[in-house]
Amino acid sequence: MSKLIIDGGRKMEGEIDVQGSKNAVLPILAAAILSDGKNIIYNCPRLRDVEMTIEVLKNLGCRVKWEDNCLEVDSSDISVYTIPDELMRQMRSSIIFLGAIISKFGKAEVSMPGGCEIGNRPIDLHLKALRQLGVEITESHGFIYCKADKTEPANIHLDFPSVGATENTMLAACMIEGITIIENAAREPEIVDLQNFLNRMGAKIRGAGSDTISIEGVHKLYGVEYTIIPDRIVAATYLACAAASDGTVILKNTDSTHMGAMINTLKDMGCRLYTEKTKVILQPAKILKSVDTIKTMPYPGFPTDIQSPFMALATQCRGTSVFVENIFENRFQHIEELVRMGADIKTDGRVAVVIGKSKLTGAKVMAKELRGGAALVVAALAAEGTTEIENVKYIDRGYQSIEKTLASCGIDIKRKE
């Protein structure tokens, strides 16, 4: 099992090309099965989640070639409408194939998905929306059986702006004759990226990025070439790393317009940031200051995915910062590990109070999920001495060769198998 060994106390200095977005590429790869030919996806990050998604594609009958960050998916011979239980259990986002398989075959058979244990993530919103489209769904012994003999467009109001439910509805409805409306849709940039990809394939979707999406069904979709947007969570994580190490970093191949809440929080902490459309520069704060309250919210609010890395940074801020986790009830698993390193953090339910500035020291810690693992990396850069982070497999789900990226910016970090 891999672990990261980080010697703290070095400033992060350098330039980083931000990888493609994990949360954008996974639904786009699911959408690739809707064409009858080849799709070529550029800026595809080499991640564990992408590797598992490729296994799902191969199981369905797709031919996949991956060279550098270019992924070719040929769905000409796709013939399978089921996903084995062992693949579904590997990651939560595998459920996004449900809408695409239904759209392709008029039926689907999958097990309940797995993924990081960060709390209850029910798929009832997905299934409710699909049922409104006329999909007959039966749940039995951990499996979901779908039959779509008589699908029809619908006006769908999501009870919560779920990213996955929005994406699954878009995939399921894009080839249903008539106009489907999604109200209270998720507004994340990754939703816009999926719309843009589907439209390039020949779909007719409008409104992504707002809370109302209109989908006019088409009869056929075609293979295309497409470039994935930059990963805003990865970008913000590296900004937190630079701030925690009192360093300067230049992010290239990023999109600052997707990062408003995160950039504003860093500015509130005292960091100096300069933004262009595809570039973000962070220079260290003279004094890192606490922020009163950070509440995780659906986009364009503060993302739940960056809560834990920013909490690690908050341990280095003077004063008290309060974090309120409104999305997942079990996303404080990193706190125990941060406390092991010397952080002063108290929790009450979904509220965490961080009292800074803490003197962090290196320790043996364990990543328990993806973003919590990234938080330990941020803390390790600020810590005195050596930190060993075990369970790097979780970090690898969302960060492409994180040790190489940080080493290129002067951080003393290595991976040990």
Exactly one of 44, 116, 146, 241 is catalytic; name it.
116
- The CA distance from 123 to 40, in Å, is 30
- Is 116 one of the annotated active-site residues of the chain? yes
Q: What are the φ/ψ torsions at residue 270 (nearest 5 degrees)? A: 105, 0
- The CA distance from 311 to 352, in Å, is 9
- The CA distance from 216 to 80, in Å, is 26
Read out DSSP for 359-401? --B--EEE--SHHHHHHHHHHHHHSBSEEEEE-HHHHTTT-TT
- The CA distance from 128 to 4, in Å, is 42
**152-182 burial, b if ≥16 CB within 10 A, otherwise e?**
ebbebebeebbbbbbbbbbbbbbbbeeebbb
Closest C-alpha among 372, 384, 290 to residue 337: 372
CA 354 to chain centre: 25
DSSP element (H, E) containing 227: strand 225-227
Residue pair 42/416 in contact (Cβ under 8 Å)? The answer is: no
Provide the residue count of the chain: 417
Which residues neighbour 177 within 8 Å (Cβ) at sequence distance 6 or greater?
153, 217, 219
* Active site (catalytic) residues: 116
